[in-house]
Structure 1
Amino acid sequence: MKLYGALILFVTLSTACGLRCYTCITVDPRSCTDTKSCGPGFDRCFSLKFNGVTTKDCLNSLGCAVGVMSCCEGDLCNSAVPTGSSVLLLLVSSALITLFL
């Protein structure tokens, strides 16, 4: 039962921290390693490549309607290298809940 409580606390804390996105302005998208927690109202991460320069940051879903940039949902989803941490966390938490409920 304590494990179940710890799992709920962990999921709650990760949700409360909000969306995290990579943020940079660089020529080499693989060198973009800085992250930040997006503020209220920012619910997407984006990547924009223009004239060889890549820009990554947080964005509102309305800004994604422009169509020039690539938008995504989920923590650190605008990476040059797929991270998969959000998917892994979802699978592990689903498995634990299935086992203990």
Structure 2
Amino acid sequence: MKTCGVLVLFMTLSTACALRCYTCTATDPKSCTDTKSCPVIFNRCFSLKVDGYDMVTKGCQTSIACVGAVSCCEGDLCNGAFPTGPSVLLLLLVSSAIIALFL
């Protein structure tokens, strides 16, 4: 039974560690609803709006490339137009507490 709990915790940790960002190229930033799990090398989410064009691009980025017109942020889905739900850390703590109580 303990092995099952450890396996569930490991799976929660592996999915919780991947950064998630909104990804799109659109004319309306609020219409960007697609999300993506970023590859390990990317540690920021970004938004780019070029002056003179009615387009916004959002996606995953490294901190080194966060210069100039590229607006970067840290945390899951931080580059969205709407506030996000509870943090991954809170979800991880709650799932760990549930596993500890019932196993």
What is the CA RMSD across the aligned residues, in angstroms?
2.7
Identical aligned pairs, as a percentage? 50
Number of equivalent positions = 97
Report the Cα distance in structure 1 between the residues aligned to 2:24 and 2:34, rounded to whole angstroms: 7
Larger Rg: 2
Gaps of 5+ in 1: none
Kept in 2: contact 1:25–1:54 (CA 8 A): yes
> Paired residue for 1:44?
44
Report the Cα distance in structure 2 between the residues aligned to 1:23 and 1:57, rounded to whole angstroms: 4
Cα displacement string for residues 15-34 of structure 1 (whole angstroms, at most 9, x for unaligned residues): 35x21111111111111011
TM (normalized to structure 1)?
A: 0.72
Q: How does 1:1-101 map to 2 (within 5 A)?
A: 5=6, 8-16=9-17, 18-50=18-50, 51=52, 52-64=54-66, 66-85=67-86, 87=87, 89-94=88-93
> What letter matches 1:19 in structure 2?
L
Kept in 1: contact 2:19–2:75 (CA 8 A): yes
